Structure 1
Amino acid sequence: MRYSDDIIEEVRSKNDIVDVVSQYVRLTKKGNSYFGLCPFHNEKTPSFSVTPGKQMYYCFGCGAGGNVFNFIMEYENYTFGEALKYLADRAGVELPKIEYSREVRQKAQEKAELLEINKQAAQYFYYQLRTEKGQTGLDYLKNRGLSEETMRKFGLGYSDRAGGGLYRYLKAKGYPDDRLRESGLFNVDERHGMYDKFWNRVIFPIMDVNNRVIGFGGRVMGDAKPKYLNSPETKIFDKSRNLYGLNIARTTRKKYLILCEGYMDVISMHQAGFTNAVASLGTALTSGHASLLKRYTQEVLLLYDSDEAGIRAALRGIPILREAGVNSRVVSLKPYKDPDEFIRNMGPEAFEQRLEEARDSFLFRVEVAENEFSMNDPQGQNQFFERCAQMLLELKDELERNLYIDAVVKIYRGRYGISSEDLRKRVNTLALKGTPAEHRTQPKSGSPEKKKKESASDTSQKLMLTWLVTYPKIFDKVAQYLTPEDFVVPLYREVAQMLFQQREEGEINPARLLNSFPDSEEQREVASLFNATIHLETQQEQDQAFADTLLRIKQESLAEKNRNWDPSDLQGLQKLVKAKKELEDLGRKRRELHISFE
């Protein structure tokens, strides 16, 4: 549901960010801002600032930042729509009803009917578990150690052996066959007509993050195949973009989520108090899963079965999470196979200890790779360190790569005499050759890359944007020399264009500007543009910093135009010559570039 910009701005402006954040964070006023401990990462010294003048927050420690919508979304794990409704209710703003086209209304109606069918089915299965016919399923769940409270919390149910009860139940409620077929709850053939897909199974309702039932999983009672059966994909159920248990785990205050294999793993862990556990829905981890996890956490603990298949699953998941910008560690459950078995034998405290001892995911990959080679002979050792170098080359950040080189050497120096210099040379040799690893780890379009070191040009552009929103009175002076086109970073140029437009309209409003960036990563970066810092005490320091910043932006702008100039464009050449002369004149007049940040 998309509301007008005016409505969104009305809700934002009626929720003072200091008042809202103060409900969650203890703030202390310092100068023109308020400071407190960041709620989005662990810290002992306050680096989390809230600025009433900008109506924005920013953490100088972890980089979290934005307006009041962003804060509620990040703290409460809300979507934008959920945050808008929450803040509208808080401020007493009535959100208008939006008129949709006939096609859109029809699609929405179809989805609503499918959701209602699934809800009715979940209630039916839940009831069946508690009847005489469901005794087999109830005994199974109790034997697995599940309490009545846990079964109720996850809405567990049962489908009886007859296999036609759900169809008759829903038909009696008036649902047509076409819609029931679309629900994925039934099979159809010429001999039997339409009949229940799930029968003689314990049922696990699958819910989305808004607690709506979107599908089901079923565990067969007995030895029939398949052991586990899931709903097929429908208009409301996409296996690659939903995680079992996330509707509960998303509200956890733990700093990480635990990713395990199956329904019972999640349920047994939640019952033991580990309410941050989730599982993929019968599929391998996908980029869609990783993006979903990124919305709720910065770190994932991989907790797969300790057999060969579980190890392979962990190895597949690590690079997918890394590409999405999610850190990962790997939990060892040995000598037990899965978390349910571990907790039943060792208890929650021992399990908590294993979580704390989770293995760094890169070093886990190294450890697994070691088992693939014959480490008793030089050839095997050489092949192993070649593999290590390939994996190290996947790390694009030089500091991170050097830290892992030292970590690998620390583990293997005593046994094989490997040194940091030896391994670094091997990595550099592979880099010069252009190994397949380099191509394999190139980020896909739209995937976040590791942040590169900020250039002096980027810093200058960010400083200027910060000054423009913090000291709007300098805008007239700046506009004599700069236009939005002088900001060469595309995102910075877009923000500058918005600020110049706001200036024409008579109000500089960075918090409103943020509403135009729905992507969370962009929101963070835009928030950082308005919080660049430089320590200036005297008027002379202010003037020098302003002149240096202005000249650097103009120099980079000219260099960018020169790089993009078409040699056949004579008119463009004349403009370049003119721009170069103006820059030289500006450099000679730098002492006249006075500014006041009062």
Structure 2
Amino acid sequence: MRIDVRTELSVVPWTRATWTEDKLLAASPFRFDRTPSFYVWLRDQPITNARAGDWQDYGASDPEYTRGGIVKLLAFIRDETEEETRAYLRIKYGYDGEVSGNVDELTLDLSLTLRAPPEPYKPLDLRMLDEYRTPHPYLSSRGISEDVQRMFGTGYSTRHRAVTIPWYNVEGTLANVKFRRVTEKTFWYVKGGRAIREMIYGLHIVYQRKITRVVLVESEIDAMYLWTAGIPAIAVGGSAFSDEKAELLRKSPIEELRIATDNDEAGAKLKAQVCEKMEGYCELYDAMIPNEYKDMNDVKSSKEVREIVEEAQVHKWSLLFKE
């Protein structure tokens, strides 16, 4: 069974995109650049042995993101680990076996051999963060205070030239670490970390402080930016709201959820998912970001950030539920 690469990529807001029968040419999703120097094959290319989903970025300075396959690309687009992307593709396209071979290759295992159950999840060792205590101005340049950075345990990896953003379980143990390049858009997660679909960024602080009113955003940077403005916030970590994330919120102390997703189609879909799954569990509010801004971090005035949150309107579904 084959992956529908064109369909998977069609939901992405590509910059300067040109679609043909065989190839997508566009600006790189990994870099701050508008030159169409990135391409993805949409069909197998027997002459060159390229597979559908193989891509190349001519302007890449990071060797890890010069070329790759569909799993690596979709993991970046979907803001999740590559293991989660493989699981998504297996479920959607009928793969019931293990992923084997090349890191970006999906193979169907027809073996009837019984597999051992997966090992129980174990939190990561907090001491691994000691390596990343070197300061870096990147997060400060995004408007995030040093106090908030310390609260979330962020750091910097000189080896990878990337800021480190830890994700914690609700009890405060370390679940995963996101690495984000300071000069490009590329990011990845530490090996062995918990799946992002099973967590909500910042929720451990909500539990610790028993916070009942919270703003929900997409990215970790948006959440930390809101905390800098004095507003408790949590982040989904992408544009999908899984059942696991919903269950975490339902069990949390949150009684009032103000939703401030990105100002695009993906953000609107995420808001709808959150409202559908959280209806009846807490009060839901729309925090409407003005059209001139992409997201909360794009609003450069803390005063305006607070006004957007304070002026949030009760979501129409919440009103119907109350009736």
TM-score normalised to the size of structure 2? 0.56
Match of 2:259 in 1: 302
CA contact (8 A) 2:239 2:267 kept: no
- CA offsets, 1:257-314, max 9 Å, x none? 211011111111112211x210113351112212211222233111111223222221
Q: CA RMSD in A?
A: 2.8
CA contact (8 A) 1:122 1:213 kept: no
- Counterparts of 1:356 and 1:151, CA distance in 2: 24
- CA offsets, 1:399-442, max 9 Å, x none? 72xxxxxxxxxxxxxxxxxxxxxxxxxxxxxxxxxxxxxxxxxx
More helix by share: 1
Secondary structure of 2:164 counterpart: strand
Secondary structure of 1:115 counterpart: coil
Alpha-carbon distance change, 241 to 326 in structure 1, aligned in 2, over 3 angstroms = farther
Superposed, 1:195-594 pairs within 5 Å as: 199-223=160-184, 227-231=186-190, 234=192, 237-252=194-209, 254-274=211-231, 276-282=232-238, 284-295=240-251, 296-322=253-279, 325-334=281-290, 335-342=292-299, 344-345=300-301, 347-348=302-303, 350-362=304-316, 400=323
CA contact (8 A) 2:199 2:245 kept: yes
- Counterparts of 2:228 and 2:222, CA distance in 1: 10
Alpha-carbon distance change, 268 to 328 in structure 1, aligned in 2, over 3 angstroms = same
Match of 1:488 in 2: none
CA contact (8 A) 2:229 2:305 kept: no
- Counterparts of 1:356 and 1:147, CA distance in 2: 21
The number of aligned residues is 203
- CA offsets, 1:464-510, max 9 Å, x none? xxxxxxxxxxxxxxxxxxxxxxxxxxxxxxxxxxxxxxxxxxxxxxx
Q: Note the residue ranges of structure 2 that are not aligned, 5 or more in a row.
A: 1-118
- Counterparts of 1:207 and 1:230, CA distance in 2: 13
Match of 2:149 in 1: 151
- CA offsets, 1:125-162, max 9 Å, x none? 12xx23xxxxxxx132232233332222221112234x
CA contact (8 A) 1:287 1:321 kept: no
- Counterparts of 1:283 and 1:304, CA distance in 2: 9
Quick check: which has more Rg, 1 or 2?
A: 1
Alpha-carbon distance change, 252 to 331 in structure 1, aligned in 2, over 3 angstroms = farther
- CA offsets, 1:309-330, max 9 Å, x none? 22222122211212x7333211
Secondary structure of 2:137 counterpart: helix
Deviation at 1:254, TM superposition (A): 4.9
Alpha-carbon distance change, 309 to 356 in structure 1, aligned in 2, over 3 angstroms = same
Q: Note the residue ranges of structure 1 that are not aligned, 5 or more in a row.
A: 1-106, 131-137, 162-198, 365-391, 401-598
TM-score normalised to the size of structure 1? 0.31
- Counterparts of 2:264 and 2:239, CA distance in 1: 17
Letter in 2 for 1:144: R
% identity of equivalent residues: 25
Alpha-carbon distance change, 283 to 331 in structure 1, aligned in 2, over 3 angstroms = closer
- Counterparts of 2:144 and 2:213, CA distance in 1: 25
Match of 1:26 in 2: none
Match of 2:132 in 1: 125
Deviation at 1:249, TM superposition (A): 2.4
Secondary structure of 1:204 counterpart: strand
Match of 1:140 in 2: 138
- Counterparts of 1:149 and 1:354, CA distance in 2: 23
- Counterparts of 2:211 and 2:149, CA distance in 1: 23
CA contact (8 A) 1:240 1:283 kept: no
CA contact (8 A) 1:244 1:263 kept: yes
Alpha-carbon distance change, 316 to 220 in structure 1, aligned in 2, over 3 angstroms = same
More strand by share: 2
Secondary structure of 1:336 counterpart: coil
CA contact (8 A) 1:329 1:361 kept: yes
- Counterparts of 1:211 and 1:239, CA distance in 2: 15
- Counterparts of 1:351 and 1:268, CA distance in 2: 9
